[in-house]
């Protein structure tokens, strides 16, 4: 069966998701001085807050990709976006160092599933000859 135009919507969705994940990861660095002041965090504590995201992202990328293989990338991406959106919002409610580390860790765990499941989505929805370009444009959008 020849490919339909639906694949263009899938690519546009992935590009949009890539842009949003980039913005979500970078925004906290712009807010760092205000967060440190409001919560009374030291440089070392703020580094731990940043590290919590990276650690969770690394730990959960494979399991969330595997889960996407089991339940499907569309269902998984829906959960990923809802989970990281929740913890993005809850970051604003952090009241101390521990709550901020927990929020950032869970945010990282949620966002970790985005790119493995985008890749799975591309393998399902795109013809093989279009996958490389779609991946490249998506990764470009996430930087």
At 131-142, the pLDDT tens digits run 899 888 888 888
Predicted confidence band of residue 38 (pLDDT cuts 50, 70, 90):
very high
Q: What pLDDT is stored for residue 8 in this prediction?
A: 85
CATH 1.20.1250.20 is right for the domain spanning 6-141 = yes
- β strands within 1-143, DSSP E: none
* pLDDT surpassing 80 at residue 83: yes
Cα 122 to Cα 88, 98, 118: the distances in Å are: 26, 38, 6
Q: What mean pLDDT do residues 52-56 have?
A: 96
Global confidence as pTM: 0.86
Query: Per-residue confidence at 26, pLDDT binned at 50, 70, 90?
Result: confident
């Amino acid at each position: 069966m020849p490919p339909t135009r639906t694949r263009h919507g899938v690519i546009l969705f992935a590009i949009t998701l890539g842009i949003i994940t980039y913005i979500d990861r970078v925004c906290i660095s712009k807010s760092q001085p205000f967060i440190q002041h409001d919560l009374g965090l030291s440089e070392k504590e703020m580094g731990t807050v940043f590290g919590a995201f990276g650690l969770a992202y690394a730990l959960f990328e494979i399991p969330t990709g595997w889960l996407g293989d089991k339940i499907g990338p569309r269902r998984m991406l829906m959960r990923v976006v809802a989970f990281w959106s929740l913890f993005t919002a809850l970051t604003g409610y952090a009241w101390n160092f521990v709550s901020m580390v927990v929020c950032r860790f869970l945010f990282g765990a949620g966002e970790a599933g985005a790119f493995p499941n985008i890749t799975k989505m591309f393998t399902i929805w795109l013809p093989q000859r279009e996958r490389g370009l779609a991946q490249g444009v998506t990764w470009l959008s996430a930087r």
